[in-house]
Each structure stands twice: as structure tokens, then as C-alpha cells.
Amino acid sequence: MTDRATALREQGRDIISLSVGEPDFATPDHVIEAARAAMDAGQTKYTPVTGTMALKKAAALHFRRDLGIAADPANIIVTSGGKQALFEAIVATVSEGDEVIVPSPWWVSYPQMVRFAGGRVVPLRTHAHRGFRFEAGELESLITPRTNWVLLNSPGNPTGAVYPAEMLLALGEVMRRHLQVMALSDDIYAPLNYSDGPHATLANLCPDLADRICTVSGVSKSHAMTGFRIGVATGPGWLIDAMGTLQSNSTGNPSSVSQAAAVAAFEGPQDFLTDWREIFRQRRDLVVAGINAIPGLSTPVPDGAFYCFIDASDHMGRFGGDDTKLALHLLEHGVAVVAASAFGGKDGFRISFATDEATLTEAIHRIGKALA
Ligand code: PMP
């Protein structure tokens, strides 16, 4: 949709893109400065394949400070984006016929990674009226002897759902009963969790399960560094080693300059995040109120990240039940969104509110007009 929106813009059409998954803020100055300094200092060569010790130490600080996870730098891998860490964890462990439980609506790449590895995607359907959260019992009913991972993503893309601690503690209980099940926790949006209280994550709440949890994080979303391509993961040594073997024989080390920038991101000031969270929270309130005021549209209140997952069931008759047609109709009216079906959902669409309030207000106006 982003590509289509760009093509229409090039034809001179006025299109607002609410389809992108990156913050609209500029990368903080101290991060840019660190990248520049690294280049000036000649840090333009290979680094150790799984990342520099400086960045592993900075990532350990991040895991401890922001996620409450005591991670040893020896059990940390630096990757080219959070995406590569997730891919490596799955490809290193999933064999033909293995099952991976993926809560839906899901981030688009999870099922593709599982299928790439020959695994079977087992959807765990979640619903808007329960804030896109699931009960541990629902998850347990999907476990078989072939289950090897459950995927967790909080705050979540595309729903913005945040998992409360009680839910994760109950999940930990389930894992204690099923020793073959590991958890892959994608916490890349954790610094953009604007619910009250500290961010809850499984490895912090259930340290006794540490040898079966891999936690993925990064700087892409929290520090507006999507183009730098740096992710980090921590987990049991055997898994981190296997991921390193994959990395060694595929991409090699993540960019040396980006790694230096990521050290500055993790170790430098974090206070700007308080402002960013507040800005996202205000935009969230504007978007939720605006969308819920449009007849036939509804969305629960997301508690993190910068997405709203919108139900448009009442309008689907007009589009033959095909939400891609709905998304194309909105594009015709000047707003690019992503159809719910792209995320394993249905009858709706996702918008990103990583753009300013005036643009969001105009976009909501256009969506209302398009569906009137
Ligand atoms: N996980 C989720 C849930 C995401 O939304 C994204 C980015 N869209 C990623 C991982 C990947 O992030 P990165 O750009 O660091 O690879």
C-alpha cells in the first residue's frame, strides 16, 4: 500500500499514508553524532559476526533497565534489525512439521518465517472485544507434542495490545506443564508502551523459564532508527550460538556504523521517550475518538506502539466481504491503510498514527467521507 500510495503521489494525487510502520520523529542527534564519529574513527570494517562487545554490553543495559531481564552479554546477539533475530531464532529451531502458535492478528512476517522453516502456523485467534489479548487456557488448548514455539508481541503490531503481567504469569504456568514449548517474545515496541505501570515481559516475570525464552528488541521503533538495521536478542546460549552460526554464513556482522549508533541509543539519554510516549498517547486518543465516531467503524484502545486495528464489518457488504477492496476504496479517497487480512484478521484495516495530529484529523475526515 505504501508503494501504491507513493505511485499515486507521483501522479500528483494528494494521498495521506497511514500504512507505514515507523515513527515520524527524527533520529535523535546524539545517535547521528555517534554514527558520524564512528566513521571518522575508521570503524568501517568487519566487526565480530554477532556484534561488538560494546553493543552487547549496551544491549545488556537495555534489557536490564527497560525490560527487567538480567542478560549476560555472552547470551546476546546483535542482528541486522529485530526482523533478522526473529528469523534466525525460528529458522535455527523449527523443522518440517513443527508447530508454532502465533496470536492473530499477527505481524505479517511471523507466519512467513515459520513457513519458510517448514513449520506449521497455528493461529491463536484474539478478538477486539477482549483487547486482542488471549487467555492462557486458549493457548494451552492448541499445544501438541509438536509445538515448539509460542510467539508473543507486546505492545503488538498491528493491534497495539499490551499483555498484562497476570496474563504472562498464567502463560508461564502453561509452559511449566509443557516442557517442549519455548516462547519467542518480540518486545521491540516496549519503550512505546504507554499503559500505566512497568512493561511486563515473560523473561522478567518467569526467570525460572529463562532457558526456554528468547526476547527480541532493538532500536528501530524506540529510537526512530529503522534504516540503521540493528536488532538485539537474548536467550539460552545454545540458541544464541545457533543464531550466530546462521548469521555467520548469511549476512555476517550487522553494519559497524549502525552498531556504534545503537550503543549511543541504548547508553545515551532516554528522556525524549517520555515526550514521544505522550505524543503517541495524544494521537491515540484523537484517532480512537475519531474512528469510533464514524458509523460502522470501531476500534479498541491500543496501549502501545502506534497502530489502531479497526473493525469495519458493517461496511463489508459494499466490498463483497473483501477488505483489500475496502483499503483500495480508502486509497481512492486519499488515505493509504493496510487491510486486516494482511495480518490474519478480517473485515477491517490497520492505520498507523505515526504522523502529526493535523494530518490524522484530515485522514479521519476522508475515511468518514469515503464510507458515508
Ligand atoms: N517486530 C514487529 C512487531 C515489527 O512491527 C517490526 C517492524 N515492522 C519488527 C519486528 C522488525 O523491526 P526491525 O525494523 O528492527 O527489523
Q: What is the pLDDT of residues 139-196, one digit of tens each?
A: 999 999 999 999 999 999 999 999 999 999 999 999 999 999 999 999 999 999 988 8
Q: Which CATH class is domain 45-267?
A: alpha beta
Model confidence at 48: pLDDT above 90: yes
Beta bridge partners of 149: 100, 182
Domain locations in the chain? 2-26+272-371, 45-267
Q: What is the mean pLDDT of the chain?
A: 97
Which residue pairs from 95-102 have beta carbons closer than 8 angstroms and sit at least 24 positions apart in sequence?
95/119, 97/146, 98/146, 98/147, 98/148, 99/144, 99/146, 99/147, 99/148, 100/147, 100/148, 100/149, 100/150, 100/151, 101/139, 101/142, 101/143, 101/147, 101/149, 101/150, 101/151, 102/151, 102/344
Beta bridge partners of 310: 349
Q: What is the tens place of the pLDDT at every residue in 301-322?
A: 999 999 999 999 999 999 999 9
Q: State the distance from the centre of ligand 1 to the C-alpha of 109, rounded, in angstroms.
A: 9
The span from the CA of 50 to the CA of 46, in Å, is 11
pLDDT reported for residue 344: 96
Q: For the domain bounded by 2-26+272-371, which CATH number is listed?
A: 3.90.1150.10
How many Cβ atoms sit within 10 Å of the Cβ of residue 21?
Answer: 19
| Phi, psi of 342, deg, nearest 5 | -65, -20
Kind and range of the H or E run holding 61: helix 53-67
The span from the CA of 371 to the CA of 327, in Å, is 11
Query: Which residues line the pocket of ligand 1, CB cutoff 6 A?
Result: 21, 81-83, 107, 153, 157, 186, 188, 218, 220, 226, 231
pLDDT band at 1 (very low <50, low <70, confident <90, very high): confident
The span from the CA of 198 to the CA of 343, in Å, is 28
Q: State the distance from the centre of ligand 1 to the C-alpha of 208, rounded, in angstroms.
A: 27
Question: What is the mean predicted confidence (pLDDT) over 311-334?
Answer: 96
The span from the CA of 91 to the CA of 161, in Å, is 26
pLDDT band at 272 (very low <50, low <70, confident <90, very high): very high
Q: Ligand 1 pocket: which of 153, 186, 188 to mutate (most atoms <8 Å of CB)?
A: 188
Q: What is the tens place of the pLDDT at every residue in 132-144?
A: 999 999 999 999 9
ipTM above 0.85, yes or no: yes
User: Smallest Cα–Cα separation from 85: which of 185, 179, 181?
Assistant: 185
pTM, 2 dp: 0.97
Q: State the distance from the centre of ligand 1 to the C-alpha of 149, rounded, in angstroms.
A: 18
User: Smallest Cα–Cα separation from 151: which of 225, 191, 98, 194?
Assistant: 98
For ligand 1, atom 3, the nearest C-alpha belongs to 157
Q: State the distance from the centre of ligand 1 to the C-alpha of 83, rounded, in angstroms.
A: 6
For ligand 1, atom 12, the nearest C-alpha belongs to 82
